[in-house]
Amino acid sequence: MSLKKLWEMQQMRQRYLQLKQQIKTSPLGLKLEKEKHVMEKIRADLTERREALRRLSRELRQRELDAKEVGEKIKRLEQKLYEGNITNSRELKSLEENLRWVKQEQEEIEEEIINMALQEEQLEEELRKAEQEFQQLEQTYSAALEEYHRWKQELEEEMRRIEVSHHQIIFQIDKDLLKLYKKMRPKYGERVVARVENQTCTGCRVQIPTSLLQALRRQTDLIRCENCGRLLLYE
Ligand SMILES: [Zn+2]
C-alpha cells in the first residue's frame, strides 16, 4: 500500500505551503515594501526640489541681466544729463525724473537679486542635506533588500526541490488512493492522512479504539479515523 508515500507527499505539500506563506508574510519583506513606497515619495520630492532650484537659478540669472540692462540705461541717462546739451528746463526735469525712476527700479531689482541669491543658497544647502540623507537611506535599504532576496531565494530553491520530489512521488502512489485523497482534500486540506501516535489520531487528537488499532497494525486496508474520518497511518 502506498499510504506511506501519500503521507510523504502530504508532508511535502505542507512544507511547500509553509514556505510560500513564510515568503508572503515575511516581516522584512513587508517592511521593505513599505520602505520602497516611502523612498519613491522622497525621490519624487527631491526631483521636485531640484527642479524648483533650477527654476530659481534661471530667474536669478534673468534678474541679473535685467540689472545690467538697467545699469546701462542709467549710464546713458546720466551721460545725457551731464553732457550739458539739454538746456530746456522742462526737458531737463523730465530727464531727471526718468533717471530717478530708473534708479529706483535698479534698487528694487538689486534687492530682489539679493533675496533670490539667499534663497538659492538656502535651497542648495537643504537639498544637499536631503540628498545625503536619502543616499544613506538607499544604502540601508539596498543592504536589507539584498539580505531579503538571499533569504527568499533559499526558500524558493527549497520549493523547487519539493516540486521535483512531488512530481516524482505522485507516480508511486496508487491511482485510487490518489483519487480518494483528492476527494477528501476539500474537507481536510493538507491533512488527509493522519499518523497514529500514542494510540491517538494526530488529526483530531481522539484516542483510537483497541479493535481499530489491531486492524491498523495489520494495515491491509485503508482505515479511517472513526472520529474525524482521516486516513490513518500506523507505523
Ligand atoms: Zn481523527
Residue 2 or residue 64, greater confidence: 64
Q: What would the mean pLDDT of 110-137 be, rounded to a whole number?
A: 97
pLDDT the model gives residue 1: 66
CB under 5 Å of ion ligand 1: residues: 201, 203-204, 225, 227-228
Q: What would the mean pLDDT of 210-215 be, rounded to a whole number?
A: 90
SS3 231: strand
C-alpha cell, 137: 537611506
Among 27, 29, 17, 13, residue whose Cα is nearest residue 150: 29
Residue 235 or residue 41, greater confidence: 41
pLDDT the model gives residue 165: 97
Work out whether strand 193-197 and strand 231-233 pair parallel, antiparallel, or are unpaired.
parallel
pLDDT the model gives residue 230: 97
pLDDT the model gives residue 87: 83
Question: Would the pLDDT of 98 be above 70?
Answer: yes
Residue 221 or residue 44, greater confidence: 44
**Rounded Cα–Cα distance for residues 189 and 104 (Å):** 86
Q: What domains lie within the chain, and their CATH numbers?
A: 18-172 (1.10.287.1700), 175-233 (no CATH)
C-alpha cell, 126: 537643504
**Rounded Cα–Cα distance for residues 188 and 208 (Å):** 19
Q: What would the mean pLDDT of 4-23 be, rounded to a whole number?
A: 96
Among 10, 19, 12, residue whose Cα is nearest residue 192: 10
- Centre of ligand 1 to C-alpha 228, Å, is 4
| Distance (Å) of CA 176 to CA 67, 142, 183, 203, 220 | 94, 51, 10, 22, 15
pLDDT the model gives residue 217: 87
**Rounded Cα–Cα distance for residues 157 and 128 (Å):** 43
C-alpha cell, 46: 527631491
The whole model's pTM is what?
Answer: 0.72
Give the rounded percent of residues in the chain with a pLDDT score beyond 70.
100
- Centre of ligand 1 to C-alpha 57, Å, is 78
- Centre of ligand 1 to C-alpha 212, Å, is 12
Residue 148 or residue 81, greater confidence: 148
Give the rounded percent of residues in the chain with a pLDDT score beyond 90.
90
pLDDT the model gives residue 85: 86
Helices (H) and strands (E) in the chain, counts: 5, 3
Handedness of CA 215, 220, 225, 229 (dihedral sign): negative
- Centre of ligand 1 to C-alpha 172, Å, is 25
pLDDT the model gives residue 4: 93
Question: What's the whole-number average pLDDT of the chain?
Answer: 95
Q: What would the mean pLDDT of 27-56 be, rounded to a whole number?
A: 96
